[in-house]
Amino acid sequence: MARRKEREMIVEIAALEKSFKIIGANIRSMEHVAAILSKFADKKVDSAGRDEIACQAEFCLFRDKAMKKASFFNGTKIDCHDCYLSMHAVCAGIWRAEEWQLTHDVDQTFSCLKCSGCSGSVSCMKKAMGTIGSLKRREIEEKKEIEQRRREKEEYVTSGPTRSSLEKVWKKYGADVCAFKQTFCGNHVYKLLHTRAINEYMLVFPPTPNRDRIRDLLLALGDVMKLCVSSALTEYEMDELEDGIVIFSS
Ligand SMILES: [Zn+2]
Ligand SMILES: [Zn+2]
Ligand SMILES: [Zn+2]
């Protein structure tokens, strides 16, 4: 069971990491797209790129050789649903990974940049910048999510072994908390409050001031318990009981 849960967590994290990588690649390629669109605006397109007469977009990005660097996108073509022109999907403004995936779907319809209200290279470039901005925000969100999941997994795998080490030490002191035996009772709790037992099983936890504080509380509680079984307490025992209560309640 424990192993299965751990495996599931690993698979989920791997899926998130994959999606995070895709967004990163999407962003880097979009930065090239935005840069080429700004070259169109400045009329500085490096036209040593592919001569793509077949693309009827207002700004065919592949005319600039820098488009080779935008490896997230390939020369996939679409037909605009509104103007019926045929063009590269990326030149039509199909920029986000999830939209890009839909280009494989024959039933999907698309509108080019111009038909969706982007006319002129400056406004297309602004739209590209906007897409980059929102992808970057999502990238940050996904990074947080991955870190959170990694922490959860780390907690999960460390709490498992801690529990079994604890059980081992407890058993040594006569308190078997093994779930299938179901015999754990007050007597066992009492055994776990012996000074030597406490000092040993508290070492299972990582050394922190908190651990030491909990250990001191348990030791004090153990002292209180020990003295409560005697019918009459000596003066020394009375003092000890008082000390125990003081530590326990502070
Ligand atoms: Zn094109
Ligand atoms: Zn690049
Ligand atoms: Zn169109």
12 and 128 co-located in one domain: yes
pLDDT for res 210: 84
Closest listed ligand to the CA of 56: 1
Whether 142 and 19 have beta carbons less than 8 Å apart is answered as: yes
Whether 174 and 188 have beta carbons less than 8 Å apart is answered as: yes
Closest listed ligand to the CA of 109: 3
Question: What's 215's DSSP letter?
Answer: H
109 and 209 co-located in one domain: no
Report the separation in Å between the CA atom of 7 and the middle of ligand 3, taken as the mean of its atom positions.
47
pLDDT for res 4: 81
Residue that has been written with the tokens 């947080």 in this structure: 144
189 and 141 co-located in one domain: no
130 and 189 co-located in one domain: no
What residues contact residue 226 under an 8 Å CB cut-off, 6+ apart?
193
89 and 34 co-located in one domain: yes
The structural domain count of the chain equals 2
Closest listed ligand to the CA of 52: 1
Q: Which residues of the chain have pLDDT under 70?
A: 1-2, 48-53, 161, 178-184, 229-233, 241, 244-250
pLDDT for res 91: 96
182 and 83 co-located in one domain: no
Q: Please, which residues have CB less than 5 A from ligand 2, an ion?
A: 28, 69
pLDDT for res 236: 76
Whether 223 and 240 have beta carbons less than 8 Å apart is answered as: yes
211 and 99 co-located in one domain: no
pLDDT for res 67: 93
Instruction: Characterize the bridge pairing of strands 86-88 and 77-79.
Output: antiparallel
Q: What range defines the domain where residue 134 resides?
A: 2-145
Whether 80 and 62 have beta carbons less than 8 Å apart is answered as: no
pLDDT for res 101: 92
Report the separation in Å between the CA atom of 61 and the middle of ligand 1, taken as the mean of its atom positions.
5
Closest listed ligand to the CA of 82: 3
Long-range contacts of 71-74 (CB under 8 A, 24+ apart): 71/25, 71/29, 72/25, 72/26, 72/28, 72/29, 72/30, 72/97, 72/100, 73/29, 73/33, 73/100
